[in-house]
Amino acid sequence: MVASAIPVTTDASRWRLARATVLLLLVGALAVTTLLSLRIGALGLSTSDTVAALFQYDPDSYEQTVVRSLRLPRTLIGLGAGAALAVSGAVMQAATRNPLAGPSILGVSSGASFAVVSAIYFLGISTPSGYVWFAFVGAAAASLLVYGIASAGRGGATPVKLALSGVIVSALLASWSTALLLLDQETLDRARFWSAGSLAGRPLDIFWTVSPFLVLGLAGALLMSRQLNVMSMGEDTAKALGLHTGRVRLVSALLVVMMTGAAVAAAGPIGFVGLAVPHIVRVVSGPDYRWVLAYCLVVGPTLLLGADIMGRLVVRPAELQVGIITAFCGAPFLIVIARRRRVAGL
């Protein structure tokens, strides 16, 4: 390339190489975390048993059965949910140009929670598999309502209107959930464990139910990264550059609904991954969304599985719900980042 003779371009390509190298290292970290997630738990396993359970499954081995029936579903759901939450957080932050945006800005968690609480209260449903579709539909309905209200008035779905209607609808749904929980203690008893957010005790078919949405959403988000780059320059600039900003926001919202709906349906409302991971990632990846999304795709699952592993270790042989751990660990991270960098520049 002729341009490579110019020093600036050399810097740029070196920068690109550095980012690619770090990404590769992070993929390695993800692989290690996945293996650990299959190995570690109330029953300690050897690496050889774990690997054997995956590739040369022996149904008579108790250890291998544990891996197959308990650890594998949990790990897969963790991988999917982590990637979906982190990527959709980044997409929301770009599309709304609000550094505080996360999947919850569309009311996803509260919509899913409300649907699940209603399912328990009115229909007496009590298994994670029974919750899946309620959670998904609740999440999707809430976010469509949020988006519909935000885009109905004058000026369309501007970032601030979107955020405002999200906050309001969330508050509304959360208080309805609270009302149902106060009316019936049994509902509260069941719902409190679901709404802590956990990867444990989910059968593998939950993962298969939600995986089409995960795959579609993630693929769509990665394809959108260029548009998101333009979006993040600001509404006016994006329009001047010929981007149909309303359409991009709508598509981003639909992708986010698919991803977070699937994640919350499988694992319950896990906060903070969607908000924090993009911020953490940007320290290394820079503001380019092609890199931000790729990093989120890798770092999100690593952190979620890491948090889940930590939850299995801290109060052994009992477990802490992963949603509790992500918040406990993510919060200091966010505080450190908020103190270190300017959080503008989205």
Residues at the site binding another protein, with contacts judged by CB under 8 A = 99-100, 149-150, 152-155, 160-161, 163-165, 167-169, 171-172, 174-176, 178-179, 181-183, 185, 188-189, 192-193, 195-196, 271-272, 275, 320-321, 323-328, 330-335, 337-339, 343-344
Residue number, 31 or 183, with CB nearest to another protein:
183
CB 218 to another protein: min, Å: 24
Q: Exposed, middle or buried, 109 (CB in 10 Å: 0-12/13-18/19+)?
A: buried
Residue number, 140 or 280, with CB nearest to another protein:
280
CB 153 to another protein: min, Å: 5
Compute φ and ψ for 268, nearest 5 degrees.
85, 175
Question: Any idea what DSSP says for residue 5?
Answer: G
Compute φ and ψ for 284, nearest 5 degrees.
-95, -40
Residue number, 20 or 168, with CB nearest to another protein:
168
Residue number, 1 or 318, with CB nearest to another protein:
318
Residue number, 181 or 221, with CB nearest to another protein:
181
CB 118 to another protein: min, Å: 15
- Cβ-count burial 1-20 (b if 16+ within 10 Å, e if not): eeeeeeeeeeeeeeeeeebe
Indicate the residue type of 8.
V
CB 30 to another protein: min, Å: 24
CB 242 to another protein: min, Å: 25
Distance, first Cα to last Cα, the chain: 31
Q: Residue 318 in contact with residue 254, Cβ under 8 Å?
A: no
Compute φ and ψ for 163, nearest 5 degrees.
-65, -45
Which residue is associated with the tokens 């995960």? 214
Compute φ and ψ for 194, nearest 5 degrees.
-65, -45
Residue number, 78 or 323, with CB nearest to another protein:
323
Which residue is associated with the tokens 């059965």? 65
Give whole-number Cα distances, 223 to 62, 161, 163, 300, in Å.
Answer: 43, 26, 24, 18
Residue number, 23 or 163, with CB nearest to another protein:
163
Residue number, 18 or 152, with CB nearest to another protein:
152
Token reading at 31: 């692989």
Residue number, 49 or 319, with CB nearest to another protein:
319
Query: For residues 317 and 164, what is the distance between their CA atoms, to the nearest angstrom?
Result: 43
* Degrees to nearest 5, angle at CA 113 with 112 and 114: 90
CB 102 to another protein: min, Å: 9
3-state DSSP helix/strand/coil percent for the chain, to nearest 5? 80, 0, 20
- HSE on the CB side for 21, CA within 13 Å? 6
